[in-house]
């Protein structure tokens, strides 16, 4: 690691929890936090092998890394946070990244109403309840950072069933972020990243038409990578961003439509 890497957005000695960290953006954030010196807790719902691999990779940075399983659609949120801190100790950074995958796998076959129910349970209620639960603990300790994940097209609109569903959920998360930032200030900062077209599982299998659409809508003419989001996340949860709270930051290659 270079001197510049050591100086940039250091997280040395902090403890970070990333929900939904077994793959995609969550995995990239957990590894980037570990690169920055944070001890990490990798949450997963089903993919124990993938989560175990993330823990192993994070450990190579010389930090403590562990994993914890929970279905955030039906969990006791206060109890989950308590379980996490029993494993990791006090949490300094909490990232609400877990979300329902309705584009690939079994979730894509659900009815519209069932998809909406799952999004509201996990993406919306999960993010809000977990933020409040960890927020109370952080506030009592006098410091902490919470980071949520939104969607860059949620507040400007996109056609289709999936877009309607995701915009409903992610607008709620983005709005909650702004209010949580006020409720939990000044001890705790709360921000949100709104990713654009990021090449996760759906992007890998997207049709030629969608591949072309992504390039047309993105001024930088490429898919975003999970690592692009992870580097921004590392900055936002570090003390280098100590005057930023209540912000929803688009990370989308300059897309405006």
Mean pLDDT of 175-201: 94
Sequential DSSP letters for 30-55: HHHHHHTT-EEEEEESS-HHHHHHHH
Mean pLDDT of 25-43: 98
Residue 2's pLDDT is 45
Does 187 score more than 90 pLDDT?
Answer: yes
Mean pLDDT of 23-35: 97
Question: What's the whole-number average pLDDT of the chain?
Answer: 92
R_g (Cα) of the chain, nearest Å = 17
Does 176 score more than 80 pLDDT?
Answer: yes
Which two tokens mark 185? 């200030």
CA atoms of 65 and 232, how far apart (whole Å): 21
Which two tokens mark 48? 């124990």
Per the model's pLDDT, the better-predicted residue between 214 and 80 turns out to be: 80
Does 134 score more than 80 pLDDT?
Answer: yes
Which two tokens mark 151? 């969607």
Three-class DSSP category at 179: helix
H/E stretch holding 65 reads: strand 65-69
Domain extents in the chain: 12-251
CATH class given for the domain over 12-251: alpha beta
Per the model's pLDDT, the better-predicted residue between 147 and 203 turns out to be: 147
Q: How many CB atoms lie within 10 A of CB 239?
A: 12
**Which pLDDT tens digit goes with each residue over 224-245?**
899 999 999 999 999 999 999 9
Residue 1's pLDDT is 44
CA atoms of 35 and 17, how far apart (whole Å): 14
CA atoms of 115 and 143, how far apart (whole Å): 36
Among 5-9, 87-91, 129-133, 243-247, the range scoring the smallest mean pLDDT is 5-9
Per DSSP, what are the bridge partners of residue 198?
224
Which two tokens mark 25? 């953006």
**Which pLDDT tens digit goes with each residue over 84-121?**
999 999 999 999 999 988 877 777 888 999 999 999 99
Does 32 score more than 80 pLDDT?
Answer: yes
CA atoms of 33 and 147, how far apart (whole Å): 13
C-alpha distances in angstroms, 193 versus 1, 95, 246, 249? 26, 10, 11, 5
pTM of the model: 0.93
Q: How many CB atoms lie within 10 A of CB 183?
A: 14
CA atoms of 240 and 183, how far apart (whole Å): 22
Residue 48's pLDDT is 97
Please work out, in degrees rounded to the nearest 5, the angle formed at the alpha carbon of residue 188 by the alpha carbons of 182 and 194. 70
Does 6 score more than 90 pLDDT?
Answer: no
Residue 223's pLDDT is 84
Per DSSP, what are the bridge partners of residue 40?
16, 65
Residue 158's pLDDT is 78
Let me know if 254 is exposed, middle or buried by CB neighbors in 10 A (0-12, 13-18, 19+).
exposed
Helices (H), 185-255: 201-205, 208-217, 226-237
Three-class DSSP category at 215: helix
């Amino acid at each position: 690691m270079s001197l510049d890497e050591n100086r940039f957005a250091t997280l040395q000695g902090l403890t970070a929890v990333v929900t939904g960290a077994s793959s995609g953006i969550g995995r990239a954030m957990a590894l980037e936090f570990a690169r920055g010196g944070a001890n990490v807790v990798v949450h997963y719902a089903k993919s124990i092998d993938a989560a175990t691999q993330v823990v192993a990779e994070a450990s190579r940075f010389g930090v403590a890394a562990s994993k914890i399983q929970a279905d955030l659609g039906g969990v006791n949120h206060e109890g989950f946070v308590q379980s996490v801190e029993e494993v990791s100790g006090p949490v300094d950074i909490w990232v609400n990244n877990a979300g329902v995958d309705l584009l690939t796998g079994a979730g894509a076959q659900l009815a519209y109403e069932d998809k909406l129910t799952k999004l509201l349970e996990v993406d919306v209620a999960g993010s809000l309840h977990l933020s409040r639960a960890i927020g109370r603990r952080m506030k009592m300790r006098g410091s902490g950072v919470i980071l949520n994940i939104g969607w860059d097209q949620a507040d400007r609109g996109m056609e289709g069933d999936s877009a309607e569903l995701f915009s409903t959920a992610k607008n709620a998360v983005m709005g909650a972020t702004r209010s949580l930032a006020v409720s939990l200030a000044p001890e705790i900062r709360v921000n949100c990243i709104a990713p654009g077209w990021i090449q996760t599982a759906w992007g890998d299998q997207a049709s030629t038409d969608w591949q072309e659409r992504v390039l047309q809508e993105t001024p930088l003419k490429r898919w975003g990578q999970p690592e692009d989001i992870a580097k921004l996340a590392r900055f936002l949860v570090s003390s280098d961003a100590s005057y930023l709270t209540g912000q929803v930051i688009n990370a989308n290659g300059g897309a405006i439509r």
